[in-house]
Amino acid sequence: MIIILKQNANQAKVEKLKEDLIRRGFKLHLSQGTEASLIGLIGDTSSIHEDWLKAIDVVEDVKRIREPYKKASRSMHPEDSVIDVCGTKIGGGNFQVIAGPCSIETREQITEVALDVKRSGAHLLRGGAFKPRTSPYAFQGLHEQGLELLLDAKRASGLPVVTEIMSTEHLPLFEDVDVIQVGARNMQNFELLKELGKLNKPILLKRGLANTLDELLMSAEYILAGGNENVILCERGIRTFETSTRNTLEISAIPVLKQKTHLPVIVDPSHASGIRSLVEPLSLAAIAAGANGLIIEVHNNPEKALCDGAQSLTPPMFDDLMRKINRSTEFFRSL
C-alpha cells in the first residue's frame, strides 16, 4: 500500500503518522520526490481500511498494490480451486450444469423435473424453498416442507441439491443440503456469510444486483476467512439501463474473475435474461468465455410455474440445450 502525502504537509503530523504505522507493525519505505512524498507500507495491509488513512490531514491519497481479498486472490493461490460436491467436481477443467425449477412447488413437480434433468445429463438439482420475492404477497416458497421435497427428489434422482438460504436461523434445516446458495440479494449479508464460513459445505455465492466484482470477491473472502474454502461464484446479470432483459449478463465478469481468483465461476443465464429464448445463446457465450458451469431454470409446466415461468425451459428444451452444451465444452477444450 502506498500513502501519498500532501505537498507541504506538516512534518510533525507526518512523523506522528509514521510512528503510528510502525506501532501497527509495518515497515516503512519512504520516498521524497519533487512533486510528491510517498510512504510505502510493507506488511499485511488487509486489516487497514483506506478510509482511515484518507481521513488523516496530511494524506492526499492511498493506493493499494495488492487486492484486499487475500484468500480469494489468485496471486496467493495460483492453481484453480476444485470444489467437491458428493464426488462431482466444480472448477478446474470440469464443467457442471445445475438445473431445476426456480421454486419447489409439489413433490410431483420437483421429482419429475429432477428425473428429467438427470436423464439429460445435469449434474446437480436446483430448487428454491426460501424465495426472495420483491412483493410480500408473492409466493414465498414452501420453506421446511420444500426442503423435504427437495431431499426426496435427491433420493429419487441421485443428484446433489442446491438451494438458497435467506437467514442464519434456518441453518439447522440445511444439514442435508449439498450446496447452500446465497442469492444476489444477500451477497452482502455479512452475518450470514460469517456463519457460512464456519461450515465445511460448498457455498454458491451469487453476485449482487449492483455489486462490483471486487465486492463479490470480498464477500467470498468473508466465507473463506471463516475457514470454509468451498466457495463457487456465480455471475447472474447486473442492473443496467437496458430494459430488454431482466438483467444484463456481464460476460466479461467471467474472464476477469478467472484472472483475479482461483474460485470456480458459474453463470446463471436464466436470471440474467429473464427470457427463455435467451437462455441458450447466453449459456453458449458463458462456455466460450471460460465459465466452469451453468445454473439453469427448468420447469415441467412453465406456464403454471409459481415463480419465473417466463425464463424457465421445458425438459425437452433443456435436453436439446444439454447436447449443445456438451458439444461446445468439447470444442472449447480442444482449442
Interface residues toward ligand PEP, by CB under 6 A:
102, 128, 132, 164, 183-185, 206, 236, 268, 271
| Nearest approach, Cβ of residue 297 and Mn ion (Å) | 6
Q: Please report which helix (H) or strand (E) contains residue 39, including its range.
A: strand 37-42
Q: What is the DSSP string of 159-184?
A: --EEEEE--GGGGGGGTT-SEEEE-G
| Nearest approach, Cβ of residue 101 and Mn ion (Å) | 8
When asked if residue 268 is in the footprint of Mn ion (CB under 5 A), the reply is no
Pick the closer one to ligand PEP by CB: 112 or 164. 164
Q: What is the DSSP string of 116-138?
A: HHHHHT-SEEE-BSS---SSTTS
When asked if residue 308 is in the footprint of Mn ion (CB under 5 A), the reply is yes
Residue 236, contacted partner among Mn ion, ligand PEP, none, CB below 5-8 A by kind: ligand PEP
| Nearest approach, Cβ of residue 194 and ligand PEP (Å) | 19
Instruction: Determine the residue with CB nearest Mn ion.
Output: 102
Q: Among 95-103, 113-121, 240-248, 275-283, which window interacts with Mn ion (CB under 5 A)? A: 95-103
Pick the closer one to Mn ion by CB: 102 or 165. 102
Residue 178, contacted partner among Mn ion, ligand PEP, none, CB below 5-8 A by kind: none
When asked if residue 102 is in the footprint of Mn ion (CB under 5 A), the reply is yes
Q: Among 99-107, 160-168, 276-284, 321-329, which window interacts with Mn ion (CB under 5 A)? A: 99-107
Pick the closer one to ligand PEP by CB: 132 or 255. 132
When asked if residue 295 is in the footprint of Mn ion (CB under 5 A), the reply is no
**Dist. CA 37–CA 9, nearest whole Å:** 9
At 235, list the grid cell.
455471475
Pick the closer one to ligand PEP by CB: 53 or 102. 102
**Dist. CA 88–CA 314, nearest whole Å:** 25
What phi and psi values does residue 6 have, to the nearest 5 degrees?
A: -65, 150
**Dist. CA 157–CA 160, nearest whole Å:** 9
At 274, list the grid cell.
429473464
Instruction: Classify 302 as helix, strand or coil.
Output: helix
Residue 264, contacted partner among Mn ion, ligand PEP, none, CB below 5-8 A by kind: none
* Euclidean distance between the first and the last CA atom of the chain, given in angstroms as a whole number: 39
Q: Among 11-19, 201-209, 284-292, 306-314, which window interacts with Mn ion (CB under 5 A)? A: 306-314
Residue 183, contacted partner among ligand PEP, Mn ion, none, CB below 5-8 A by kind: ligand PEP
Q: What is the DSSP string of 186-254?
A: GTT-HHHHHHHHTS-S-EEEEPPTT--HHHHHHHHHHHHHTT---EEEEE--B--S--SSSSB--TTHH
Pick the closer one to ligand PEP by CB: 154 or 236. 236
Give contact residues for Mn ion (rule: CB under 5 A): 102, 308
